């Protein structure tokens, strides 16, 4: 992949790329699931629009931690680099869990393209970051003014840059106020509500009391802390003050409203875009910058409610309705994707839903080679478009409309989301989305990835099942070959011995004839011996012919997928006749209670496999490889158009735990003794899938097992 980037094998044509380099900037975000990412995205789009550039939004997902890292996670960044944009604004939280080396590998994807990072510093490139310290120190000063002297802190992830900065600023501010930090009030967290709740629960269990206030490294943990305090009967702010950071969308509508730190996304976006434009204009060294965060004081830190600025109820209601609509849309998409069908049918079914949500047009691109280490983005092809433009743009790897945007349209943005797993590249979705629903393209890409990958895994599972069935069938044929070979040896041996004796008699008669000593009684005796020898040879060869005929019928059927019409009773006899050599040398008797004239059009190979597997299952498991005495029986019955085949033995039987797993793949009680765990699994698959029947099993230890198979005649 890196080689393709260095060679500049961009997906757009040369002319399109020239235009794109002048007009289109990319915003690369790990996710749009969080409110702060959406705020920064909207601010960036406004700043780009003011400069009359086109914009494309690319959602890439987060880089994993070192232990979970896979090169396939860089696939979306190669897509972002290859579409031919002039510059890139990358949200730095894309690598918040990644090592510096991983981030460096990520940035190699954009080699030769001007890049500015927004959020935190990224090695080797211009960054516009957040000054976390300003807001944190303002909050400490505010809490101090409220009379708080004992202040606790809920930390964020240890490997997160912002979390470390915020805690360091807290420690500095406490020192500046000459306030001691009590370590038992410094709690671990991971930016989730649950982590804060668990930390508060652990603190309460120590029964050491609470501090005057808790500062949390983000709003989600502050929300979790407040919920836990309320559940424990601790009032906020009457008994304890709580603050957060990020000023997320619910902080103004919580009860109590949450004191937080807001990040001036407008300034970050404006400064970031301005620096990117300077890079595009050829400025070699563009300095990084940090934008100060700002404390927002609300009720959770003791500000009287009447002094807290509220969002108008109409605005709250509108935001909630938008979230509800998106939630309904996600549910509808999930429901439609439950119906497994071809890719084109699936996306066609989604078309009206996506249009209602605000995604139009929508393009689905699929890679011709899904293996990411073999297929590149130059092997991508349009397979569906809501504008019915597939014929015109069949071989174009990106929508031509992407490079001919109306920059006066501030309400929507082209959004690209790859469909990929760490090991497979399925393509990507390109959609023109309203700003309020751009994040839905990310959800759609995840749903489609799961749907495509599930189909891929099902195909692999089907292939493996077919292979297992073929292997089991060949193993059964191998057993038949061994048994038939052993059985054929006896009549062939008798025939050879009879012929040898006959040749000796011929030589004796010839000698008597040559010496004129042949008498009539000698000749009569010779004729009688010839008749007897002929009978012996004839009977023996007839036995061989019979064995080979039955073996050939069963072998051909088991290796064929074709259906034909057969007499069920006669066919069962044929199959069991081919197994006769196996049972002949054992202590197991075979009893057949068959009905004549039951005609069935079916797959004889599948039926032969079912009969053989039941018989061999009884031979191996019920009667310990034929060592135990007992009876294996097959009975036929019919009720109207239903044929009932009962396979029964009076052998070892199964207890309830074994019986419940008997039809599961690879389950066997003979592990290490030749059992594959596929016999009854394949029987169940063949009966349900190929023969169109049903099977029911009953068994008890030491009382044997019964399998009842119902087939439609």
Average pLDDT over residues 348-354: 73
Which one has a higher pLDDT value, 684 or 493?
Answer: 684
Which one has a higher pLDDT value, 161 or 311?
Answer: 161
477-500 tens-digit pLDDT: 555 565 556 556 656 766 777 788
3-state secondary structure of 89: strand
62-117 tens-digit pLDDT: 887 665 566 667 777 877 777 778 899 999 888 776 777 788 888 888 888 899 99
The answer for residues whose C-beta is within 8 angstroms of residue 512's C-beta and 6 or more apart is 518, 519, 522
632-650 tens-digit pLDDT: 999 999 888 899 999 999 9
Confidence at residue 296, expressed as pLDDT on a 0 to 100 scale: 93
Confidence at residue 7, expressed as pLDDT on a 0 to 100 scale: 37
- Phi then psi for residue 274, to 5 deg, are -60, -40
Confidence at residue 312, expressed as pLDDT on a 0 to 100 scale: 47
> What is the C-alpha to C-alpha distance for residues 705 and 696, in angstroms, rounded to an integer?
11
Confidence at residue 115, expressed as pLDDT on a 0 to 100 scale: 93
Peptide bond into 361 cis (omega under 30): yes
Please tell me the least confidently modeled range out of 114-123, 215-224, 642-651: 114-123
558-601 tens-digit pLDDT: 555 567 888 999 989 888 877 777 787 788 999 999 998 899 98
265-323 tens-digit pLDDT: 899 999 999 999 999 888 888 999 999 999 999 999 999 877 765 544 444 444 544 55
- Phi then psi for residue 463, to 5 deg, are -65, -40
Ranked by mean pLDDT, which of 36-45, 406-415, 658-667 comes out on top? 36-45
> What is the C-alpha to C-alpha distance for residues 332 and 444, in angstroms, rounded to an integer?
11
Bridge pairing between strands 694-700 and 704-712: antiparallel
> What is the C-alpha to C-alpha distance for residues 198 and 650, in angstroms, rounded to an integer?
58
% residues pLDDT > 90 (the chain) = 29
> What is the C-alpha to C-alpha distance for residues 191 and 200, in angstroms, rounded to an integer?
14
Bridge pairing between strands 294-296 and 260-262: antiparallel
377-419 tens-digit pLDDT: 455 666 666 665 554 455 555 665 555 555 445 577 888 888 8
61: left (phi over 0), alpha (psi -120 to 50) or beta: left
**11-39 burial, b for 16+ CB within 10 Å, e for fewer?**
bbbeebbebbbebbbbbbbbbbebbbbbb
- Please check the confidence at residue 535 and state whether its pLDDT lies above 90: no
42-51 tens-digit pLDDT: 899 889 888 8
CA separation (Å) from 501 to 359, 459, 494, 532, 538?
92, 62, 11, 11, 15
CA separation (Å) from 511 to 505, 508, 527?
10, 5, 16
- Phi then psi for residue 69, to 5 deg, are -70, 140
Q: Categorize the per-residue pLDDT at 251 as very low, low, confident or very high, splitting at 50, 70 and 90.
A: confident
CA separation (Å) from 479 to 212, 472, 591, 663?
80, 11, 21, 22
Which one has a higher pLDDT value, 250 or 588?
Answer: 588
- Please check the confidence at residue 159 and state whether its pLDDT lies above 90: no
Please tell me the least confidently modeled range out of 133-137, 361-365, 396-400: 396-400
% residues pLDDT > 70 (the chain) = 74
Confidence at residue 36, expressed as pLDDT on a 0 to 100 scale: 80
Confidence at residue 632, expressed as pLDDT on a 0 to 100 scale: 94
Whether the model pTM is above 0.75: no
Confidence at residue 67, expressed as pLDDT on a 0 to 100 scale: 53
Confidence at residue 407, expressed as pLDDT on a 0 to 100 scale: 45
> What is the C-alpha to C-alpha distance for residues 132 and 375, in angstroms, rounded to an integer?
42
Is residue 241 within 8 Å of 300, Cβ to Cβ? yes
- Please check the confidence at residue 661 and state whether its pLDDT lies above 60: yes
Torsion sign (Cα): 47, 50, 53, 57: positive
Is residue 60 within 8 Å of 33, Cβ to Cβ? no
């Amino acid at each position: 992949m890196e080689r393709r980037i260095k060679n500049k094998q961009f997906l757009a044509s040369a002319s399109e790329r020239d235009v794109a380099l002048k007009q289109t900037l990319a915003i690369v975000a790990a996710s749009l699931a969080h409110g702060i990412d959406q705020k920064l995205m909207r601010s960036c789009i406004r700043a780009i629009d003011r400069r009359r550039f086109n914009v494309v939004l690319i959602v890439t997902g987060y880089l994993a931690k070192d232990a979970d890292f896979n090169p396939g996670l860089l696939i979306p960044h190669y897509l972002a680099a290859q579409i031919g944009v002039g510059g890139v604004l990358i949200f730095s939280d894309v690598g918040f869990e990644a090592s510096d080396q991983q981030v460096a590998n990520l940035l190699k994807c954009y080699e030769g393209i001007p890049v500015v990072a927004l959020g935190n510093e990224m090695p080797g490139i211009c960054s516009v970051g957040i000054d976390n310290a300003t807001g944190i120190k303002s909050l400490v000063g505010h809490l101090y003014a409220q009379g708080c002297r004992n202040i606790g802190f809920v930390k964020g992830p240890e490997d997160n840059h912002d979390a470390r900065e915020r805690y360091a600023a807290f420690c500095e501010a406490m020192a500046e106020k000459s306030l001691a930090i009590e370590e038992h009030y410094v709690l671990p967290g991971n930016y989730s509500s649950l982590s804060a709740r668990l930390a508060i629960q652990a603190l309460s269990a120590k029964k050491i009391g609470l501090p005057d206030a808790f500062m949390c490294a983000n709003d989600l943990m502050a929300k979790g802390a407040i919920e836990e305090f309320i559940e424990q009967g601790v009032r906020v702010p009457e008994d304890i003050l709580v603050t957060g950071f990020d000023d997320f969308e619910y902080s103004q509508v919580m009860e109590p409203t949450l004191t937080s730190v807001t990040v001036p996304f407008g300034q970050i976006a404006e400064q970031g875009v301005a620096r990117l434009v300077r890079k595009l204009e050829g400025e070699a060294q563009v300095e990084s910058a940090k934008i100060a965060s700002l404390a927002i004081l609300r009720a959770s830190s003791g500000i009287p409610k009447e002094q807290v600025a509220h969002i108008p109820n109409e605005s709250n209601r509108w935001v909630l309705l938008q979230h509800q609509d998106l939630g309904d849309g996600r549910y509808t998409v999930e429901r439609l994707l439950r119906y497994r069908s071809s890719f084109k049918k699936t996306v066609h079914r989604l078309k009206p839903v996506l249009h209602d949500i605000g995604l139009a047009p929508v393009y689905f691109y699929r890679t011709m080679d899904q293996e990411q280490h073999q297929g590149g983005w130059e092997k991508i092809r349009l397979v569906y478009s809501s504008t019915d433009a597939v014929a015109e743009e069949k071989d174009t790897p990106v929508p031509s409309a992407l490079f001919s945007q109306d920059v006066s349209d501030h309400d929507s943005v082209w959004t690209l989301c790859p469909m990929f797993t760490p090991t497979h590249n399925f393509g990507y979705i390109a959609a023109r989305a309203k700003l309020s629903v751009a994040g839905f393209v990310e959800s759609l890409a995840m749903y489609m990835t799961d749907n495509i990958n599930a189909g891929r895994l099902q195909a692999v599972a089907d292939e493996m099942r077919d292979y297992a069935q073929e292997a089991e069938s060949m193993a059964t044929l191998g057993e038949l070959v061994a048994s038939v070979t052993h059985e054929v040896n006896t009549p062939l041996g008798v025939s050879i011995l009879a012929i040898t004796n006959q040749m000796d008699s011929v030589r004796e008669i010839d000698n008597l004839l040559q010496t004129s000593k042949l008498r009539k009684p000698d000749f009569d005796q010779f004729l009688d011996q010839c008749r007897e020898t002929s009978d012996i040879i004839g009977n023996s060869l007839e036995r061989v012919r019979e064995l080979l005929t039955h073996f050939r019928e069963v072998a051909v059927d088991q290796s064929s997928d074709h259906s034909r019409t057969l007499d069920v009773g006669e066919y069962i006899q044929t199959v069991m006749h081919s197994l006769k050599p196996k049972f002949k040398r054992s202590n197991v008797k075979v009893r057949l209670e068959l009905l004549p004239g039951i005609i069935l059009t079916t797959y004889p190979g599948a039926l032969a496999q079912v009969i053989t597997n039941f018989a061999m299952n009884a031979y191996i498991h019920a009667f310990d490889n034929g060592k135990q005495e007992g009876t294996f029986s097959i009975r036929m019955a019919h009720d109207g158009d239903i044929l009932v085949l009962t396979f029964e033995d009076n052998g070892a039987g199964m207890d309830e735990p074994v019986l419940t797993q008997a039809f599961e793949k690879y389950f066997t009680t003979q592990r290490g003794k030749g059992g594959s765990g596929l016999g009854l699994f394949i029987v169940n698959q063949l009966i349900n899938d190929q023969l169109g029947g049903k099977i029911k099993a009953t068994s008890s230890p030491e009382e044997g097992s019964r399998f009842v198979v119902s087939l439609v005649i």
